[in-house]
Structure 1
């Protein structure tokens, strides 16, 4: 067990003939006691500082560990957001391609339908023109027929009666 200042103060030495001067020894012991008390106080203060610094070190170590974990979590979250964004972009792209294909197919269907309707109208117009021409030609033949001359004369006679 280490010496305390009280142990030094209470220490008694045996007396011998021609021993040390008691006042010098006591004076020296008083100086040792003062210095020893100062060393003990300084040691206590240093131990307190060490404890405080150790607490701060532990605190900063905890902060560092928390920051490291936070950075890892943030990186993982960023990676997840990035992956989700890629997936969403792919879905949007697929949906756009699907819509584009649908629109193209609908347009092709409409185009075919309009083309068929146009062809049908052309056929009907051609039939109409042919029938109309036939009708007109038949009417012209009737007008050019000699029977009109007699028909006109018969009408005039009828009107006169």
Structure 2
């Protein structure tokens, strides 16, 4: 989801949701349902949920729209998906409230962490990142935190970015 909050002035914006082609092995299509238009590709269903007053233009393979964001205005653009099961098209208000709940949960969790000193902010961000790597139901580490670090000091990572050297 994307939440767009107008701070000052006016900003024209355009958006587009267009599923890929699974390496040219499938073709997405838009399908009208009783609850709204849904994009389909293979067994994946995608629904676009927007704030009241935001128009959605549908083609055979994409959803697009444009809006002008003004000071004090809030707009929500949400994408919901399901694979091989019915799709629940949520309201933009429900999606927006879900983001607020998520922010509150993470703020509550990070407020319980205590660290003092010069490195407080860096340590807090590192702890939050490590928390993101943990699979909640089992406590298992979902992925290695060092997956893209170079294997040796000064070496290149898989993306060709040189590592920082210790002084």
Q: Same fold (TM over 0.5)?
A: no
Q: TM-score with structure 1 length normalisation?
A: 0.17
Between Structure 1 and Structure 2, the one with more helix by share is 1
Between Structure 1 and Structure 2, the one with more strand by share is 2
Which structure has more relative contact order (CA 8 Å, sep 6+)? It is 2
Q: TM-score with structure 2 length normalisation?
A: 0.17
